[in-house]
Structure 1
């Protein structure tokens, strides 16, 4: 059983979030905590220089609100919004918070994943703790 579980959420692929939360709950010891994590990737400087509005705080608040909505009516779920590259930020958070398990969804691979790489595979390679990939 695990006492500190992270669940990374890609808000553009949130179709299996409840199933992932249920999986994490089955593995959670009492007392224990589960944290839903979303990562806001940084806007490249060459793009940011042309933006007239700096929406980072607004976007961060919206993402946190969406995470909290996923946790509605579910006890013991925290939410965290990070900045950076997901494959790096998630393992870093796991190390900082002494997480003992990351439960991450893996969508079915396609050509775009072959060329871009998969967040799940990056998390697996870098994580300082166990990782359960839910398919």
Structure 2
């Protein structure tokens, strides 16, 4: 059975909700079939140098064929070229956008039935 990517139903400063999940997230990861909090402490992520390959591993392992990264409302979160290279080496299309734009892109892809995953930062 193919799992669809859940819709991100709302995004505002410091708050995100995902369809089928009772939790409210500050930062979140979504993938075909699920979602969870994106806890930067797990990988030591900071705004600089930014998103690390380890932040994306879980979403890629869950079967995402396209990955959307939300850099924050003011795009303060960096995404190093080395991280993008790691994703590209797995044959996954990656899109990096301001978070509200990233959520819109993610939801559009999910509605098309594409196995899309995302990591979204909802503040700065």
TM range (shorter): 0.3 to 0.5
Greater Rg, structure 1 or structure 2?
1
Q: Whose helix proportion is higher, 1 or 2? A: 1
After TM superposition, the score normalised by the length of structure 2 is 0.39
After TM superposition, the score normalised by the length of structure 1 is 0.37
